[in-house]
């Protein structure tokens, strides 16, 4: 049996980033940029005011105070969207709004709160009293402060978040080139499975894994394609697994244990290549990986929690690598274990658990319910996988343990 790390390395060695595609700006959200995004203009395109107030020459108001205001003649009113036409000379000011272009001659803006309207209520032709000094450049946003025309606002490989969408929009890009989303086929296996819409008869259960997996695929930024249920015979399993090359990646659940009817591994060996089929972990040791016609293939175990944990550890990093992400793994944090845990020394355990913050950067962790791999509630109530290494069989309450955060997107380690 190989270790979790060995399995992960074998998987990632078989995965390459997909090609790119051009998509509408909003459809790029959460995806990885395939090329630099270059600006067609300076941003900001002109020097402008950061405040509503009066554009002035800073030297004119150096001695201004509430007790002894400096009175300036108002020569122009400049709302946003209008180009100023009057130069501000010594002893003069222009009334200016946030985002409006700075007039010639002025080098600072006094915010409205530090002024008092004088003659004509501070309109052009009247006066304004300045109650406080400003430094040259204060409350002015300069041309090209964000980026110069011809420079990149976003760089290939960066993840497109909401701010990136705003930056791309500000420099005139209505589309972006991003890595393609992996198309992921999902096949459940088992004679006992019925569709979710049906009421299970004797010995039957609903096919819930196709749904939990499709949800994980979606959450990982990929496109799920559920192909239905393969029955536990070689012919039917072969016909569904044979569709792998229509997709970027294929996942099956169930049919990889030691039972007489577990035919997935045999079919994989027949029509593809098997890389490994057992990993020293719990839940879900029979984690199977290989390729079919070059398409990566994951034969996850059937128990609902084993399926989801296998996806987290092996499939999610593969999907992220295909989608072009540099960071493949969830963040990990160290936490204080709330209770004793006994385990088998030979295997890595991934317990479904809940992290709680007890102080800044300090967490405690406790299991979040029954740890049977057939049950999903502990996974639902938890927010992490408590990772307990092989080589030890007892972890006492109070010891430090490592947790993989399932409630966060990506880590830096």
- Interaction site with Mg ion (CB under 5 A): 190, 254-255, 302
Please identify which residue in 91, 161, 200, 259 interacts with ligand AMP, judged by CB under 6 A. Answer: 259
Q: How far is CA 360 from the centre of its chain?
A: 24
Residue 257 near ligand AMP by CB under 6 A: yes
Interaction residues for ligand AMP, span 18-77 (CB under 6 A): none
Residue 209 near ligand AMP by CB under 6 A: yes
Beta-strand relationship, 273-276 and 288-292: antiparallel
Residue 204 near ligand AMP by CB under 6 A: no
Q: In whole angstroms, what is the distance from residue 52 CA to residue 101 CA? A: 12
Q: In whole angstroms, what is the distance from residue 56 CA to residue 49 CA? A: 11
Residue 290 near ligand AMP by CB under 6 A: no
Interaction residues for ligand AMP, span 373-402 (CB under 6 A): 374
Q: In whole angstroms, what is the distance from residue 218 CA to residue 161 CA? A: 17
Residue 303 near ligand AMP by CB under 6 A: yes
Per the CB < 8 A criterion, the answer to whether 69 and 129 are in contact is yes
User: Which of the stretches 4-12, 36-44, 296-304, 400-408 binds ligand AMP when contact is defined by CB under 6 A?
Assistant: 296-304
Cβ proximity to ligand AMP: between 20 and 307 the closer is 307
Please identify which residue in 252, 253, 295, 368 interacts with ligand AMP, judged by CB under 6 A. Answer: 253
Indicate which of Mg ion, ligand AMP, none lies near residue 209 (CB less than 5 to 8 Å, by partner kind). ligand AMP
Partner residues linked to 386 by β-bridges: 351, 403
CB of 209 to ligand AMP, least distance (A): 3
Indicate which of Mg ion, ligand AMP, none lies near residue 207 (CB less than 5 to 8 Å, by partner kind). ligand AMP
φ/ψ of residue 327, rounded to 5: -100, 120
Angle, CA 206 vertex, CA 205 and CA 207 arms, to 5°:
120
Indicate which of Mg ion, ligand AMP, none lies near residue 319 (CB less than 5 to 8 Å, by partner kind). none
Q: How far is CA 41 from the centre of its chain?
A: 29
Residue 302 near ligand AMP by CB under 6 A: yes
Q: How far is CA 146 from the centre of its chain?
A: 24
Provide the greatest CA pair distance for the chain: 96
Helix (H) or strand (E) run with residue 229 in it? strand 223-230
List contacts with ligand AMP (CB under 6 A). Answer: 188, 190, 192-193, 205, 207-210, 253-257, 259, 301-304, 374
């Amino acid at each position: 049996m190989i270790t979790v790390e060995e399995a992960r390395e074998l998987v990632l060695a078989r995965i390459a980033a997909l090609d790119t595609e051009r998509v509408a700006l909003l459809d790029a959200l959460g995806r990885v940029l395939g090329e630099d995004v270059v600006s067609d203009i300076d941003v900001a395109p002109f020097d402008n005011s950061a405040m509503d107030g009066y554009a002035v020459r800073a030297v004119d108001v150096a001695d201004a105070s509430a007790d002894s205001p400096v009175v300036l003649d108002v020569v122009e009113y400049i709302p946003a969207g209008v180009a100023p036409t009057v130069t501000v000379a010594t002893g003069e000011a222009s009334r200016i709004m946030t985002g409006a272009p700075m007039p010639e001659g002025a080098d600072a803006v006094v915010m409205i709160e530090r002024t008092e309207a004088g003659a004509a209520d501070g309109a052009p032709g009247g006066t304004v009293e300045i109650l406080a000094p400003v430094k040259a450049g204060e409350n002015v946003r300069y041309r090209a402060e964000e980026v110069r025309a011809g420079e990149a606002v976003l760089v290939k490989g960066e993840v497109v978040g909401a701010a990136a969408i705003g930056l791309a929009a500000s420099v005139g890009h209505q589309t972006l080139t991003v890595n393609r989303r992996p198309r992921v086929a999902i096949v459940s296996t088992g004679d006992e499975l019925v569709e979710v819409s049906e009421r299970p008869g004797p010995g039957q259960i609903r096919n819930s894994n196709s749904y939990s997996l499709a949800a994980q695929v979606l959450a990982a930024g990929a496109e799920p394609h559920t192909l239905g249920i393969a029955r536990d015979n070689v012919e039917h399993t072969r016909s569904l697994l044979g569709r792998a090359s229509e997709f970027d990646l294929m996942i099956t659940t169930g049919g990889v244990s030691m039972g007489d009817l577990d035919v997935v591994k045999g079919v994989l060996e027949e029509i593809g290549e098997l890389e490994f089929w057992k990993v020293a972990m719990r839940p879900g040791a029979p984690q199977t990986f290989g390729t079919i016609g070059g398409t990566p293939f994951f034969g996850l175990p059937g128990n609902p929690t084993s399926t989801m944990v296998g996806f987290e550890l092996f499939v999610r990093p593969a999907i992220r690598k295909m989608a072009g992400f540099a960071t493949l793994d969830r963040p990990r944090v160290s936490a204080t274990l709330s209770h004793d845990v006994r385990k088998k020394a030979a295997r890595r355990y991934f317990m479904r658990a809940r992290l709680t913050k007890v102080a800044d950067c300090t967490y405690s962790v406790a299991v979040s319910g029954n740890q049977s791999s057939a049950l999903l509630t502990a996974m639902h109530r938890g927010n992490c996988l408590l990772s307990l290494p092989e080589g030890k069989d007892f972890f006492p309450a109070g010891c430090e343990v490592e947790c993989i955060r399932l409630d966060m997107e990506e880590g830096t380690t």
